Every structure is written in C-alpha cells, then in structure tokens.
Structure 1
Amino acid sequence: MVPLQKYQDKKIAIYGMGITGCSAAKTFQRLKAKVFCWDDNEKIRKKIKNLKFSINKFWLNPESIDAIVISPGIDISKCKIRNYLKKNLNKIITDLDLFFELNKEALIISITGTNGKSTTCKIIEKILKTAKYNVKTVGNIGNPILFSSRPNRKCIFILEASSYQLQYSRLFRSKHAAILNISPDHLERHKNIKNYTRTKSRIFFAQNSSDYSYINLTNKYSKLIKNIFKAKKLKSKLISINKSNCNFLLKKINNKYFKSKGNVENLAFAYAIAKNLKINDKVIVRALNKFRGLPHRQEIILSSSKLLCINDSKATSFDACLQSLSNYNQIYWIVGGLPKHQDYFYLKNVRKKIVKAYIIGKNISFFRKQIGKKIPF
C-alpha cells in the first residue's frame, strides 16, 4: 500500500535540489506533504523557483521539520548546515528509502560495488526481459529512482545503488542485494576503505530471512563484509559468488563480450540471481548471446583479424582500468582523465602486456609520474 497517509501534511525538508532533490520534492508533493527546499547554490535556487517549490532555510526552525531528504552528493561532514544535520540524523531519509516505501510490494534487485554495477544491471535486465518479465532498471544507470516510483507491484525493479545513496539510508530493502566487488574509491568522502566497505554493506542492513545477499568470494575485502554481516547479526541468506560457478555456462555462450574477466564476474552474479528467480538455463543462454554491453564499458568498437579496439572510457579508477588491461595482450593504451583521491597505478601484473602508452588530457604529468619507466610512452 502506498504510504499516502504517512506523509500527508508532514513538513519535509529537501536539501540539495539537483535531479534527486527535485524528484524527491515532486514525489512528496504528490503524497500531499508540505515541502521546503534549499540548495546552497544560488543559481539552482533561481531555477527551481519556476517549479513552484517553497525555498526555505528550514534549519532555522528545526522543531517544525518531520523528515529531511539529502541529495546523495552532499557530504554531511562538510556541508554548510552540518551541525543541524548531525543533530537530526534520525530524521534523514534518502531517495532509496522513499523508493522502497512506495514499492514495498514489488520485487527489487539492488546492485552495488566499485566496478561493474551498470553492466550487471543490464545483464540481469536482458535475462529477465527474455524471460518475459516486466522490468525497470533505475538508479545511476537509468532514470532517477523517484521518477520511476509510481507503484507497480507486477514490476521487477533492478536498481543500481552508489555508496553516496547508501550512506544515510535506513529503510531501503531489496529481495536480492549484491556487492560485486570492493576496491578503494570515493575515499575523499569515506576517508578509508573500512568506512567505504561498511557503507556499501548497508545494502544488506534492512533485509530479512527471506532475502538474498550476494558477495564476491574472490574479492580481498569479502572477509570484511562477512565480519560486518556477523557483527550486525544480519538475517538474509548470504551467498558467496565465484566466477568459476558459471564456467559451464560460458561453454554454452557464443558471445565475445563474456571473454573478459570482469564481465565473467558480472555474469556470475547475474546468473546466481536469475537462478534464484527460477529462470531456465536455456532462457539465460538465449539472453546472453544477444547481450551487447554498454557504451564506453569495455565496448568493442572495432574487431578484425589484426586489430581489436576497446573503448573503456567509463573506467574512472585505475582498479577498473586494470580489470580491462588484464584481459588482453599487445596493448596500445590510451590513458588520461582526472585522477581520483589516492588513485595509484600498480602496473606490475600488466606491464608486459602493454606495448606503449599514449597519455592525453590535462593531467599528463600525473600519468607520466605514475607510469614512470615501467612502460614506453
């Protein structure tokens, strides 16, 4: 049942009026709540005036606010109203929480991890659509989740969740939840790998004994996730995924896309979830043979007997890049972009695979220093 009564006439503060904030404001207006909005950016405040939202410094009258929605991009420890938010953590809800409240009767599959989230969501979507299910893929990969939240109990939602979304989530629950892998990322916000891993693990916190939690058995941080699982006394069924679990499936698939190690790992998770949904292997194989991947994610843009060109420009951390490099030999590597916090190039395992590196963009000196004398450039 849609919780119309729960929020009717309640005073809801929205902090941060980007795509997520606007979608939350519209949803609460639909639920007949009294919505007060704020963004620290004056240009954004001027834009949202046209949307007829009440622009209000809600923190100046804190007792009157019943719930606070913060946009995922806001770091509470650094924002302008951090003291107010820290005192009112129990009032904070996220877009994930509201999405769940609106769709409690739907089957939700949620995917997080450092790398491979979007691809895994799309593999699952392809399998479910081939099996004739009504499917919507939402979150980072698709529409903002609250633009897709008209309740639909017959729909299966596949949701890509980021660490930013999970950090302050308290209510969100999914029938199937997966952490694909963990490697250092977003440490400028989470400070260290333990905090980052714990934040990712929040995807399991609201699950119950009828739900499924999937983790990567071969990832070096899986032990940390298991320890969190035990310490929190989580009740869901914990399933350890190993890419060798789908070796037999790879023999049946005729698709070059699944020859890379990273994509096999993504496939292993998708297959485990599909089997728990009782989908037949023949349907799964048919779906996988038709799967073409996503743009800029290990995308094959040219394939001939002499040359294979891969566009992996969505690999925005070196760990993601390393996964792709490990799949090939005789590599001519075009590299550049904006380095992430504490990003470090450990090239030892792929050095012999790379013939030459071509460094482009504004941060040439950073990449030259990282590559050093290890690889010609």
Structure 2
Amino acid sequence: MIFIPDVKRKNIGVFGLGVSGIATCEALAASGARVYSFDENRAARDKTADTEYRCEHPKNWPWKDMEAVIVSPGVPLTHPKPHAIVRKARMEKVPVMGDTELFARALNQLEPRARPRVVGVTGSNGKSTTTALIGHILKQAGHDVYVGGNIGEAVLSLPPFENDAIYVLELSSFQLDLTESLRLDAAVFINLSPDHIERHGDVTGYLRSKKRIFANQTSDDVAVVGVDDDYAQSVCTELMAHNVAEVRPVSSGSALGRGVYALDGKIYVNLDGKALLAGDLSGARSLRGPHNHQNAAAAIAVCEKFGVSPALAVKAAHRFEGLAHRLEEVGRNGKVLFINDSKATNADAAARALGAVKDIFWIAGGKPKDGGVESLKPMMDRVRTAYLIGEAAAQFEEQLRGSVHCVLCGDLENAVGAASADAAMSEAKNPVVLLSPACASYDQFKNFAERGDKFRELVAQLASTNGAAA
C-alpha cells in the first residue's frame, strides 16, 4: 500500500467504490485521514459497513472542512455534463482529483535519492499490452518491478515506494484528467483513434487528456511516442519542438532516422545515429501483428532507458505470455484456431486484429460505437465470413454489404457454432475463428472480459464435444 503524506486528521471524500475507490479509502485511512465515502450502487456501499470509512451520503459530508474529493475515473468532469459530486465540490471550492494524483503527491514528497522510477503508458489501443510487456522485460532483466494503475492492481495498492524499484502504470485518459503533478521518468503515448468522445466532448479534448502524460517531465526523462497515426505524430512533433524530455519515436512499418521501429517483425533501434537490428519478433505468438510490434518497439525504447539492452529485451519479449482478451489463443479444434480479442471494443482495435491473421471467420457486434465498421471494409479480403451479433448486427450487415458475406447470428453462442463449423469445412489450411467485436459489450454482457470468458467457455465445449484439445 502507498501511504499518503500530509493527510493526517484531514477530511477527504472518496466517491466511487470500485477496486480503485476501495484502495483509495484504505490508503487514506491507513495514512490517518478522516475518510468520507459514497457510491451510487447499494452493493458497493454495503461493502464498507464494517470499516472506518463507512459510506455516508455526500449531503452529510463536512464540505466547509473538506481537503479534497477523490473520484472514480468514470465520474464525468465536463462531458456530457459534470457529475453532481463534481459540481458540489467546485461550488464548495474543494479540489477534485484521482487516486493517481495521490500517488504522485506521495512520490513528490520523497528525497531524490529515495525516489523510485516511474513509467506511464497511455494510448487508445495497446496500452495494457505495452504496460505488461514493459513490466515483463524489466523483471526478466532483474529489476524489481510493480505494475498497476488501469491494469491489475489499483495504483495505491502497490507496495510502498522502494528507491531501487520501477513502477509501471497504465493510465487512461480518464485517470490523466484527474492527475496534475505526476512526473514520469518514461512516458509512453502509443496511438490515438477517436474514442470516449461522450466523455471528452470531441477528439481534441480526448487528445488533450492523453497529452497530459508528458506534463512535468524534465530533461532527465524520456517521452516515447508512436508515429503511425496522424494524432500521435503531431504530438511527437510538438514534443520535439519543445525540447524538454528526450523524445523517442516508435513505429511499425516505417524506418526512422531516430527511434525504435519494426519492419516485418524485425526490431531496429536507432538512438545514436546508427540503426542496429535488435532481433525478430515475427514468430512471437503473443505479439502477433504490426500493432503489437509497435507495442514492443515502445516497450524496448522504455527498457533501454533503464539499462536493458534491446537484444535482451527482444529475447524477453518472446517469453511474454500476453494478456487475456487481446489476440489470445484460447483453443484449437482440428485445423481451426480460436482467438479471443474481446478487448477490441472499437473499429480501430478490430482492424489491428484483422491485420494480424488471415483466413478469418470473424465474429463481430455488440453495442455499436460511432462509425460502426465502415472503416474496416478494405480489410474484408482477409475475412471469409462475418458472423454478426448484438445490437450492431443489422447496421454492420448494411455497412459490409458487398464486401463480405454476413450471417446474422443474434448471440455469441450461435456465432461460435456457425463460425467453427464453416471454418472446419473450408478449404483454408489454417482458418481462424476470431472474436474481435469492434463494439462495446454492454448489450449482452457486463463487460468485455465476461464476453471473452464466454467465448473461451464455448470453445472449450466445442473441443470437449469433438474430442479435441482446447
């Protein structure tokens, strides 16, 4: 647990009692604060019944004496309109922040020699894989590493600061909006595609939030930036013009005059004017596709900052097991490979999966996002048939008409059955049934993880029925 300085006997509110909210309450209470908590969900409130931060409605909080309100990252600050708790805090002139800001304030209280090194990773797609891969490579190289934030453990649940450790944090745009004083030794911005517009107002607001990851960096720090999309490329150019932190561009598919890049899976490092081949990731099954090669390039650029040779980093990356629901191989039934990419909740993420494999029997659909799958039509030459589910099915069929044969399946179970049967009967040598929905899951599932778990379960049932090994 991270202990928070300067909060003893101070009144602090915590609104939202998910994993990070409970961790925040625990850390604040252990640090001596008087914690006032609340959640709009009754079940979440009930979990605090026997704690010293037992829930109390915000109307009863001592607002005139409140030091701060810590809100869940999901609480709207501006769009579509500020949440009631945010409006109340602003009216009372009480600062609103997130748990990552508490982490930053604790970090900033340390003497330089006692300060651990901290890495932050953001981007529209690939940030979880990149965060986990950085942690994996650094551990393989012998560093003490703690990974958390928007992935795994809540940031305040991580172990107390150790001066020789490296803390690697995944940071969403929501978290960055609530963070002011975090300084990162290495900050990574992989890519940006329009998403979460309802929260940020427009793509400009979304980009502004992402760029906050570079705030407070110094000339001792490294900024790692993807340059394979126009938004991120503009950020890279801006950072280079400001000339504060050392900027390390990363790419998959383009050779760079300076930076780390991948060409056909081969990783090249050029940080001193000479490009050197670090190794080949084209056979790394947990890092399939150009997008994962860019993720790996970013991870290698970070790890080099901490003394890990690129060649060693590539070798470590081959041992990376990957993350659930992200191009995850979940079974094989005869010649048919099943890949779970349930985390692909928008068209841009699905495009990355479609570009990583071929002879695809594609399961897509759910709760649609703006634009649907119109942008994916040029990739339909890689897809044999699309099996459409959920609210988006009719819209997707219309958008894909003339580009690929579509089957309306209704739900995931029907889609898996139809796709697996068609793949098995096809003439393709190595057909792939790919769940990469390009949609949110909320129409039929609680979240993308539940959707991916259901896919895995259905694949296991197929294997059991047919006597194959999943």
TM-score, normalized by the shorter chain, greater than 0.5: yes
Does the Cα contact within 8 Å between 2:224 and 2:249 map onto a contact in 1?
Answer: yes
Alignment of 1:169-188 (within 5 A): 169-188=179-198
SS at match of 1:7: coil
Tell me the percent identity: 28
Does the Cα contact within 8 Å between 1:186 and 1:340 map onto a contact in 2?
Answer: no
Superimposed CA distance per residue, residues 268-297 of structure 1 (whole angstroms, 9 cap, x where no aligned partner): 101111111121244223312212212221
Superimposed CA distance per residue, residues 80-125 of structure 1 (whole angstroms, 9 cap, x where no aligned partner): 2342234467712211111223345111111110111111112212
C-alpha separation between the residues in 1 aligned to 2:290 and 2:200?
28
In the other structure, the counterpart of 1:70 is: 71
In the other structure, the counterpart of 1:165 is: 175
Alignment of 1:88-107 (within 5 A): 91-104=95-108, 105-107=115-117
Q: Does 1:280 align with 2:329?
A: no
Letter in 2 for 1:351: M
In the other structure, the counterpart of 2:384 is: 355
TM-score where L is the length of structure 2 = 0.73
How has the CA–CA distance of structure 1 residues 4 and 78 changed in structure 2, closer, same or farther, with 3 Å as cutoff?
A: closer
Does the Cα contact within 8 Å between 1:204 and 1:234 map onto a contact in 2?
Answer: no
**Greater C-alpha Rg:** 2
In the other structure, the counterpart of 1:153 is: 163
In the other structure, the counterpart of 1:240 is: 249
How has the CA–CA distance of structure 1 residues 227 and 199 changed in structure 2, closer, same or farther, with 3 Å as cutoff?
A: farther
Q: CA deviation at 1:57?
A: 4.3
Higher relative contact order (CA 8 A, sep 6+): 1
How has the CA–CA distance of structure 1 residues 88 and 316 changed in structure 2, closer, same or farther, with 3 Å as cutoff?
A: farther
Q: Does 1:79 align with 2:80?
A: no
Letter in 2 for 1:126: H
How has the CA–CA distance of structure 1 residues 155 and 366 changed in structure 2, closer, same or farther, with 3 Å as cutoff?
A: same
SS at match of 1:98: helix
How has the CA–CA distance of structure 1 residues 259 and 33 changed in structure 2, closer, same or farther, with 3 Å as cutoff?
A: closer
In the other structure, the counterpart of 1:130 is: 140
TM-score where L is the length of structure 1 = 0.90
Does the Cα contact within 8 Å between 1:253 and 1:285 map onto a contact in 2?
Answer: no
In the other structure, the counterpart of 2:441 is: none
SS at match of 1:348: helix
C-alpha separation between the residues in 2 aligned to 1:343 and 1:36?
42
Does the Cα contact within 8 Å between 1:103 and 1:149 map onto a contact in 2?
Answer: no
SS at match of 2:84: coil
Superimposed CA distance per residue, residues 198-250 of structure 1 (whole angstroms, 9 cap, x where no aligned partner): 1011111122221111111222102442476589x683222222234224334
Task: Between 341-350 and 91-100, report the one with greater CA deviation.
Answer: 341-350
Letter in 2 for 1:236: A
C-alpha separation between the residues in 2 aligned to 1:257 and 1:25?
36
Does the Cα contact within 8 Å between 2:11 and 2:33 map onto a contact in 1?
Answer: yes
Does the Cα contact within 8 Å between 1:127 and 1:288 map onto a contact in 2?
Answer: yes
C-alpha separation between the residues in 2 aligned to 1:314 and 1:97?
27
Does the Cα contact within 8 Å between 1:107 and 1:175 map onto a contact in 2?
Answer: yes
Q: Does 1:300 align with 2:304?
A: no
Q: 1:195 aligns with which of 205, 216, 219?
A: 205
C-alpha separation between the residues in 2 aligned to 1:292 and 1:165?
27
Q: 2:354 aligns with which of 325, 349, 363?
A: 325
C-alpha separation between the residues in 2 aligned to 1:173 and 1:103?
9
Q: 2:278 aligns with which of 237, 246, 249?
A: 249
How has the CA–CA distance of structure 1 residues 214 and 252 changed in structure 2, closer, same or farther, with 3 Å as cutoff?
A: closer
Does the Cα contact within 8 Å between 1:133 and 1:156 map onto a contact in 2?
Answer: yes
Does the Cα contact within 8 Å between 2:347 and 2:372 map onto a contact in 1?
Answer: yes
Does the Cα contact within 8 Å between 2:290 and 2:352 map onto a contact in 1?
Answer: yes
C-alpha separation between the residues in 1 aligned to 2:83 and 2:199?
12
Q: CA deviation at 1:370?
A: 3.1
Letter in 1 for 2:98: T
SS at match of 1:263: helix
SS at match of 1:68: strand
Q: CA deviation at 1:133?
A: 0.8
Does the Cα contact within 8 Å between 2:191 and 2:227 map onto a contact in 1?
Answer: no
How has the CA–CA distance of structure 1 residues 254 and 352 changed in structure 2, closer, same or farther, with 3 Å as cutoff?
A: closer
Letter in 2 for 1:172: L
Does the Cα contact within 8 Å between 2:69 and 2:94 map onto a contact in 1?
Answer: no
How has the CA–CA distance of structure 1 residues 102 and 228 changed in structure 2, closer, same or farther, with 3 Å as cutoff?
A: same
Does the Cα contact within 8 Å between 1:180 and 1:266 map onto a contact in 2?
Answer: yes
Q: CA deviation at 1:361?
A: 3.5
SS at match of 2:374: coil
Q: 2:318 aligns with which of 274, 289, 310?
A: 289
SS at match of 2:6: helix
In the other structure, the counterpart of 1:51 is: 51
Q: CA deviation at 1:338?
A: 2.3
C-alpha separation between the residues in 2 aligned to 1:13 and 1:33?
10
SS at match of 2:35: strand
Does the Cα contact within 8 Å between 1:3 and 1:101 map onto a contact in 2?
Answer: no
Letter in 1 for 2:74: G
Q: 1:143 aligns with which of 141, 153, 158?
A: 153
How has the CA–CA distance of structure 1 residues 226 and 269 changed in structure 2, closer, same or farther, with 3 Å as cutoff?
A: closer
